């Protein structure tokens, strides 16, 4: 089957100039070499342009693995556009790809600018998540509604929110028993939901959701898994921050606000573990160039946790869930986020059947910890949010 439909020029937001010579070629080896150089970020624009030619070449392949390689190449291109602060181009291209994949599956043209996610096999789950994250800004644009109290329901954002629930349903349907891998995916989907509701300023809805999940986790008769224990710890922080946002409009005094929050959640804060506290401290220090250390609920309430900071904290949780090689290191009270022995990690990630596309894909994904603020592609909406 021809794959020309996902390589056509109309899908690209930027088409590079023609190669200087008919004898000159762009190869995956060249791209991999550039990406592994110490100054790789200086070559991102050039690599993004080279990927245009690589995608064109792979579109002509008849290999059974072609569709898999092509989707990975597109995802690599999206990621590099985001790293290179060209998220607007990543938005355009991801929507183009989303729409063309949807139309391949569905005869009916919905006559809308952004189609629902395509019903790809869940083996392409990571690609679907990338589309979901990049579609979010476009679909949430203009939907930042409601007062500072968050009234107004969630009607404006139902499209993207429904897609999160559909993916949740597909994951649960695929696996009768929810193993750790599925648990992590479901948790990360909930993080996407949390961020969307915060951006939309639907705080009462978010508060109800977070309280419900916390209550469910606390009611479980059997001891919950370590993954869910960590999720519970993280959600308690979201609960405290969101309730603080809601109360800001009603309680003028910061001291009074802190007294109310401490009275409600000081005991629950005892369930917040060191990793969660370190992730908060790390993001606050990255954003404020300081040496904040969050140990107690008072330490947390003393900070001005903006929407940008909250989104980046959730980004740390998302990335560490996704990449087990990523660690939050606390040494001598200096917290850092890094890959544990990057070269060894990439060797371990390699499988015998891995192609060069896989190697590039793994390498680029391992760079995300340097670009947490770009993970959800929502920077412009964060700036417009009433809570920023």
Asked if residue 22 has pLDDT above 70, the reply is no
β-strand partners of 334: 331
Residue numbers of the domain that contains 252: 201-388
Residue 181 resides in a domain: no
Tell me the backbone φ, ψ of residue 330, rounded to 5 degrees. -115, 100
pLDDT in tens, 94-123: 999 999 999 998 877 777 888 889 988 888
Q: Judge if 107 and 237 occupy the same domain.
A: no
Q: Judge if 2 and 103 occupy the same domain.
A: yes
Q: Judge if 228 and 334 occupy the same domain.
A: yes
> Which is more confident, 212 or 385?
212
Q: Which of 116, 138, 158 is the last residue of a domain?
A: 116
pLDDT in tens, 313-348: 999 999 999 998 899 998 888 899 998 875 555 565
Tell me the backbone φ, ψ of residue 141, rounded to 5 degrees. -55, 130
Q: How many residues would you count in the chain?
A: 388
pLDDT the model gives residue 158:
61
Residue 210 resides in a domain: yes
Residue 187 resides in a domain: no
Whole-angstrom Cα distance, residue 210 to residue 238? 8
Q: Judge if 341 and 207 occupy the same domain.
A: yes
pTM score: 0.89
Residue 147 resides in a domain: no
Task: Pick from 27-41, 138-152, 242-256 the range whose average pLDDT is largest.
Answer: 27-41
Q: Judge if 97 and 223 occupy the same domain.
A: no
Asked if residue 30 has pLDDT above 90, the reply is yes
Q: Judge if 375 and 241 occupy the same domain.
A: yes
How many independent structural domains does the chain possess? Answer: 2
Residue 91 resides in a domain: yes
Residue 186 resides in a domain: no
Q: Which of 76, 92, 116 is the last residue of a domain?
A: 116
List all residues 6 or more positions away from 339 whose beta carbon is below 8 Å from its beta carbon.
323, 325, 326, 327, 345, 366, 369
Output 84-89 pairs: Cβ under 8 A, ≥24 positions apart: 84/41, 84/44, 84/45, 84/48, 85/374, 86/48, 87/134, 87/137, 87/374, 87/377, 87/379, 88/13, 89/13, 89/14
Q: Judge if 95 and 206 occupy the same domain.
A: no
Residue 266 resides in a domain: yes
Average pLDDT of the segment spanning 41-65 = 86
DSSP string, 288-301: HTS-----SHHHHH
Asked if 284 contacts 294 with a C-beta cutoff of 8 angstroms, the reply is yes
Q: Judge if 353 and 220 occupy the same domain.
A: yes
Q: Judge if 231 and 379 occupy the same domain.
A: yes
Q: How many CB atoms lie within 10 A of CB 98?
A: 22
Structure confidence at residue 146 as a pLDDT band (50, 70, 90):
very low
Asked if residue 41 has pLDDT above 80, the reply is yes
Q: Which of 116, 137, 160 is the last residue of a domain?
A: 116
Residue 168 resides in a domain: no
Structure confidence at residue 350 as a pLDDT band (50, 70, 90):
low
Structure tokens at 219: 């009611």
Mean pLDDT of the chain: 85
Lowest-confidence segment of 166-170, 192-196, 355-359 by average pLDDT: 166-170
Lowest-confidence segment of 54-68, 133-147, 299-313 by average pLDDT: 133-147
Average pLDDT of the segment spanning 57-82 = 87
């Amino acid at each position: 089957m021809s794959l020309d439909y996902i390589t056509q020029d109309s899908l690209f937001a930027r088409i590079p100039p023609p190669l200087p010579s008919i004898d000159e070629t762009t190869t995956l080896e060249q791209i991999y070499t550039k990406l592994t150089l110490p100054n790789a970020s200086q070559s991102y624009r050039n690599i993004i342009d080279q990927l245009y030619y690589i995608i064109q070449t792979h579109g002509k392949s008849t290999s059974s693995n072609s569709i898999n390689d092509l989707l990975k190449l597109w995802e690599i291109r999206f990621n590099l556009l985001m790293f290179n602060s060209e998220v607007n181009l990543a938005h355009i291209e991801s929507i183009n790809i989303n729409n063309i994949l949807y139309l391949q599956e569905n005869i009916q043209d919905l006559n809308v600018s952004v189609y629902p996610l395509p019903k790809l096999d869940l083996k392409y789950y990571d690609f679907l998540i990338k589309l979901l994250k990049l579609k979010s800004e476009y679909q949430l644009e203009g939907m930042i509604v409601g007062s500072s109290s968050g009234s107004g329901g969630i009607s404006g954002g139902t499209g993207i929110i429904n897609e999160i629930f559909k993916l949740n349903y597909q994951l649960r349907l695929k696996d009768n028993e929810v193993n750790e891998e599925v648990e992590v995916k479901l948790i990360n989907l909930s993080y996407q939901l949390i961020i969307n509701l915060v951006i939309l300023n639907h705080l009462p809805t978010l508060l109800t959701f977070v309280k419900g999940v916390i209550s469910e986790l606390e009611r479980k008769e059997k001891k919950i898994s370590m993954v869910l224990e960590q999720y519970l710890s993280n959600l308690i922080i979201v609960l405290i921050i969101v309730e603080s946002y809601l109360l800001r409009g009603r309680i003028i005094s910061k001291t009074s606000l802190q007294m109310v929050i401490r009275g409600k959640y000081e005991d629950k804060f005892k369930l917040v573990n060191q990793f969660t506290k370190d992730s908060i401290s790390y993001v606050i220090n990255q954003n404020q160039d300081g040496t904040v250390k969050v140990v107690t609920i008072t330490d947390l309430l003393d900070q001005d946790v903006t929407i940008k900071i909250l989104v980046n904290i959730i980004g740390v949780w998302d990335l560490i869930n996704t990449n087990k090689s990523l660690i939050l290191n606390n040494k001598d009270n200096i917290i850092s986020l890094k890959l544990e022995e990057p070269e060894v990690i990439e060797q371990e990630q390699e499988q015998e059947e891995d192609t060069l596309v896989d190697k590039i894909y793994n390498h680029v994904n391992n760079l995300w910890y340097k670009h947490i603020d770009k993970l959800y592609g929502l920077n412009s909406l964060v700036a417009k949010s009433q809570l920023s």
